[in-house]
Amino acid sequence: MKEIPMRDFDFTVSPAKLLTPEIVQMVSSIHEHKGKQELFLEANVDELKTLLEVALIQSTGASNRIEGIFTSDKRLEELVSQKAEPRNRSEQEIAGYREVLSTIHEGYEYINPRPNIILQLHRDLYSYSQGSAGGSYKNSDNVIAETDAEGHQKTRFIPVPAFQTAEAMEELCTRFLEASESF
Q: Which tens digit of pLDDT belongs to each residue from 79-111?
A: 999 999 999 999 999 999 999 999 998 999 999
Residues 77, 17: Cα–Cα separation, whole Å? 41
pLDDT band at 2 (very low <50, low <70, confident <90, very high): low
Report the number of distinct structural domains present in the chain. 1
Above pLDDT 90, what percent of the chain? 50
Q: What is the pLDDT of residues 120-133, one digit of tens each?
A: 999 999 999 887 77
What per-residue confidence (pLDDT) applies to 137? 95
Residue 14 lies in a domain: no
> Which residues on adjacent β-strands are paired with residue 153?
147
Residue 46 lies in a domain: yes
Residue 61 lies in a domain: yes
Closest by CA position to 17, among listed 174, 179, 168? 179
Residues 152, 183: Cα–Cα separation, whole Å? 44
What per-residue confidence (pLDDT) applies to 1? 47
Residue 97 lies in a domain: yes
156, containing H or E segment: strand 153-157
Task: Tell me which residue range forms the domain holding 100.
Answer: 21-111
Residue 80 lies in a domain: yes
CA 40: distance to chain centroid? 28
Residues 42, 148: Cα–Cα separation, whole Å? 51
Q: What is the pTM of this model?
A: 0.71
Residue 94 lies in a domain: yes
